Amino acid sequence: MKSTGARPSRFPVALALLAAAVGLRAAEPSAVPDLPRPTPEQAAWQDAELGMFIHFDIEVFDTNYQHAPDPNTRRTPMGAISPSKFNPRKLNTDQWLKVARDLGAKYAVFTTKHSSGFLMWQSDLYPFGVRQSPWHDGQGDVVQEFLASCKKYHIEPGLYCSAGGHSYWNLHHGPVTYRHGEISGNPADVTNFLDMDSRMYADLFQKAGPVSYLWLDGGVDPLGDRLTPIIEQYEPHAVCFNGPSGGVPAGLARWSGNEIGYAPYPCWNTINITDDQKDRGAGEPDGKYWIPVEGNVPLRYHIWMWRADDEDKILSLSSLMTMYLETVGRGANFIINANIDPEGRVPAADAKRLAELGALIRKWFGHSLAETNGTGSQVELKLSRPGDINFVTIMEDIRQGQRIRRYTVEGKVDGTWRELCSGQSVGHKRIQSFDRVRVSAVRLRVTEAAAEPVIQKLAVYNIQTLPPDPNNPATLAQEQKKTAPGAPPPAAGNPK
C-alpha cells in the first residue's frame, strides 16, 4: 500500500502546483524509509480536496418505485421500471461540469450504474440501460458525454459503479443478497451474479478509458481476485474509493464513516486494515497502509437521487461551509452530491447554492494575510505589520508521509507568545479557527512527530464567518456522539 514509484498522474496540474510549493524549501527532509507515503495519484487526489458527486438513475423518471420487491405493496421495483421512461430531453453534461467548476471542485464522480442496475453507457451486458431507451434513439451514452465535459472544463473524471445494489438483475435472474461486502444466495446464482459484476466493470472501464478516480460502492471483496486485474489493465492510475482490500496500483481511499459531511478528528491517513467495510473513521497514526479519507454529503439532505418538491432540503450555506472545515480542514477530501432532475440538469436552486459555496471558499481562503513553509519542529511566520487573525491553515508535505503527531500554534501578542490553538493530526491540510487576535507573528511548534516535520504551508487569515446553523446535521450528529453513553473523552486540542 506504500508508494511504488513514479507513475503518470491523472491530476497533472495538482501535482505541478504541489511540486512548485515544495520547491520553495531550502533543504530536503531526512528520509524515513518505513514511514507510509501516498502514491503519486493519491497525493494528487488529496491535493484536489473538493469534488462533486453526480447522482442520476432511472428512478427519477418514476416516483412510484421501491428499492426491492415487496409483496405488501404495489409500488414498482426499480429494476422493473421500463427503459422507455428514460428520456432526459434537456440532458446537458456541460451544465453539470460548469456547476462543478463554479463550486471549485477539481474532480467529479458520476453514477454510471446505481441500485436499479440501469446502465448509463452503451453496453450489451443486459437489456436495461440507455441502449434500450428512447433517449437519442437508443444511441446515447451519458458516460461518454460526462467524460467529454470533464475534459472541456478541466475537471478530473471519476466513475461510480456499485457492486451490490442491482434491482434489475435480482428480478430477472436468480436473486442474491449483496450488502456491505457480503453476498449470499444459491451458489449458482451467486457465481452468476459475480460473473456479471466482473464483466460489468471490465466493460465500463474499457469503454470509458483512463480516469482519475473509481468509487466502488457496496463492498467489492466478494469479487475476490476478479476485480483487481481488471483495474490493473484498464484503470491503473485511478485511486479507488472502497477498492479491493488487496490494493490497486494507484492506491485506495476510504470513507469517513458518515454521509453527513464531516471527518473525525484526529484524522490519520494511515490505517492497519484494508477491508473497505471496516477501514472507516479516524485511522491510526502508526498504521501500515496509506488510505486517505473522503467525506460526503448530499446537497439535498438526506436525498441522493432527485425527487420533486425537495428544494427545502437544500443545505444552508453555513452548514456546507462548516462541513468543508470539518472535512478538508481535518485533512480529508470532501465530495458534495448534485442531483440530476428528469430533464437531465442540475436544478437551478442547487446550482446556485453550490456556486455560493465555491465563492465563499475562495473569499475565505483564496488569499492569506501571510504564509510561509519550512522544516523542523518550529516554523515561524512574521506578518509585514501587526494584524487581526482568526484562522490558521497548516499543510504537511504528505509526499514525505504524515509526520506530525501533536502541535501548538502560537501568536505573538504585544511581544509575548500566546497559544491560539493546538491539535494532533495535520496531514494534507488542517484549518483551525480561534478568537480574533492582533499578532505580529505566528509560530507552529510541533511537540510530537514521527520524523522531521515538513511544512508545505503555514498561513493565517482574518475571516468574517457566518452564523452557525443550529440545524446543521453534521454538528448535531457530532454533539450527539459526544454525549452518547460510553462515548470516549474528546481528543486533545481545539476540535474546530
CATH code at position 59? 3.20.20.80
**Pair (282, 147) in one structural domain:** yes
pLDDT tens digits along 192-203: 999 999 999 999
**Pair (445, 330) in one structural domain:** no
Q: Residue 48: in which H helix or E strand, if any?
A: helix 40-48
Lowest mean pLDDT across 259-263, 330-334, 443-447, 475-479: 475-479
**Pair (269, 381) in one structural domain:** no
Residue 336: strand, helix, or coil: strand
**Pair (372, 361) in one structural domain:** no
**Pair (309, 417) in one structural domain:** no
DSSP annotation of 47: H
Q: Residue 158: in which H helix or E strand, if any?
A: strand 156-161
**Inside any domain, residue 109:** yes
Q: What percent of the chain is predicted at pLDDT more than 90? A: 81
**Pair (314, 429) in one structural domain:** no
Among 303, 278, 302, 301, which residue's Cα sits nearest to residue 291? 278
**Pair (301, 409) in one structural domain:** no
Phi and psi of 375, rounded to 5°? -125, 160
**Pair (119, 216) in one structural domain:** yes
**Inside any domain, residue 445:** yes
In whole angstroms, what is the distance from residue 255 CA to residue 392 CA?
26
In whole angstroms, what is the distance from residue 220 CA to residue 199 CA?
14
**Pair (221, 353) in one structural domain:** yes
**Inside any domain, residue 482:** no
**Pair (397, 361) in one structural domain:** no
**Inside any domain, residue 13:** no
What sign does the dihedral 393-396-398-404 (CA atoms) show?
Answer: negative
pLDDT tens digits along 111-164: 999 999 999 999 999 999 999 999 999 999 999 999 999 999 999 999 999 998
**Inside any domain, residue 129:** yes
**Inside any domain, residue 34:** no
Q: 72: how many CB neighbours lie within 10 A of its CB?
A: 5
pLDDT tens digits along 3-37: 333 333 445 444 433 333 332 233 345 567 789 99
CA geometry: angle 494, 49, 120, nearest 5 deg: 135
For residue 470 the three cell numbers come to 443550529
DSSP annotation of 467: P
Q: How far is CA 430 from CA 125, 393, 399, 424, in A?
A: 45, 6, 16, 10
Q: Half-sphere exposure of residue 471, counting CA atoms within 13 Å on the CB side?
A: 8
**Residue 93 Cα to chain centre, angstroms:** 20
Work out the pLDDT band at 72, boundaries 50, 70, 90.
low
What is the structure's pLDDT at 290? 97
DSSP annotation of 461: E
pLDDT tens digits along 412-467: 999 999 999 999 999 999 999 999 999 999 999 999 999 999 999 999 999 999 99
**Pair (84, 172) in one structural domain:** yes
Q: Which domain holds residue 123?
A: 42-365
**Pair (104, 141) in one structural domain:** yes
Q: Which of 365, 395, 412 is the last residue of a domain?
A: 365
**Terminal-residue alpha carbon distance, the chain:** 31
Beta-strand relationship, 252-255 and 293-298: parallel
Q: Which of 333, 349, 365 is the last residue of a domain?
A: 365
More confident site: 288 or 33: 288
In whole angstroms, what is the distance from residue 127 CA to residue 110 CA?
21
Q: Which of 345, 365, 385 is the last residue of a domain?
A: 365
**Inside any domain, residue 386:** yes
Work out the pLDDT band at 74, boundaries 50, 70, 90.
low
Burial 328-361 (b: 16+ CB within 10 A, else e): bbbbbbbbbbbbbbbebbbbeebbebbbebbebb
DSSP annotation of 398: G
**Inside any domain, residue 33:** no
Mean pLDDT across 355-359: 98
CATH number where 412 lies = 2.60.120.260
